[in-house]
Structure 1
């Protein structure tokens, strides 16, 4: 497995991976209209490009080094809060789930943020997303919950989770 730092040239690939992942992960959770709205706003060329211009925001592509195929990506922001990194995005295409890519991605993230002096990772996960169990299996805990207005009369109903890196 390889983690390749994404560039603006990779935005179409990130958009495709997000769409493929979301169609599977959120089909039973979000309406088709909300999913399209979120993909069109959160994964627009302009939005991702702006994030990539932020020196504290990183995108990495997850590549299977045996097949060369791209299995997903992660996007995170170092220093989101004091000593805290926000894992904004970690998505895998459906056919790669259960193969260790997610676990390796979180280990990669832990190593990278430790090197930058952060010792806490936070993330939001939809209350009905089975990924919550995966995060818990990796040592993440729910510390709060919230309902967030994302525009266009749509809301995200999430658990807020955290992982503390003990040195």
Structure 2
């Protein structure tokens, strides 16, 4: 797997699949290098990891997406570990993410060392679990 910062050529792939990010924000996230693309050795895209900053100072992974055909092969784990190492290189000691309480992703993140740090309850939504990990 090849992991690299998204470029404008990745825009259409992201736009088609990322239903959680407003279209006009995709370009600024690409420009800020806050989206990593996941590519096969042949260069085909099969996923991405998108992040931002909680409180403007703590890296927060907003989205990890792996196309169905590539799930269950450890690629998501590799992407998260790559992101954590990149954040560590940039001087961060703590990273965050979240997942809904009705999603299996919470178990994935806990296996990677993430700890429950709180929750958020929005009207008509399942509980959002906030997870943190010390990467220092």
TM-score above 0.5: yes
Partner residue of 1:29? Answer: none
Counting only pairs closer than 5 Å after superposition, residues 13-162 of structure 1 correspond to structure 2 as: 13-18=13-18, 39=19, 42-53=20-31, 55=32, 58-65=34-41, 67-77=42-52, 80-81=54-55, 84-148=58-122, 155=125, 157-162=127-132
User: In the aligned structure 2, how far is the partner of 1:8 from the partner of 1:91?
Assistant: 18
CA–CA distance in 1 between the matches of 2:126 and 2:9? 29
What SS does the aligned partner of 1:148 have?
A: coil
Q: Check conservation: 2:2, 2:40, Cα contact below 8 A.
A: yes
The count of residues paired between Structure 1 and Structure 2 equals 136
The structure with the larger Rg is: 1
Larger helix fraction of residues: 1
Contact 2:99 2:129 (C-alpha < 8 Å) held by counterparts: yes
What TM-score, normalized to structure 1? 0.72
Residues 72 and 93 of structure 1 are in contact (CA less than 8 Å); yes or no, is this contact kept in structure 2? yes
Change beyond 3 A, Cα 1:64–1:17? farther
Unaligned runs of 5+ in 1: 19-38
CA-CA distance at 1:7 after TM superposition: 2.1
The RMSD of aligned alpha carbons is 2.1
Gaps of 5+ in 2: none
**C-alpha deviation, 1:11, in angstroms:** 1.7
| 1:83-128 CA-partner distances (Å, limit 9, x unpaired) | 6211111111111111111111011011100111101111110111
- Superposition misfits of 4+ residues, deviation over 6 angstroms: none
Q: Normalized against structure 2, the TM-score is what?
A: 0.86
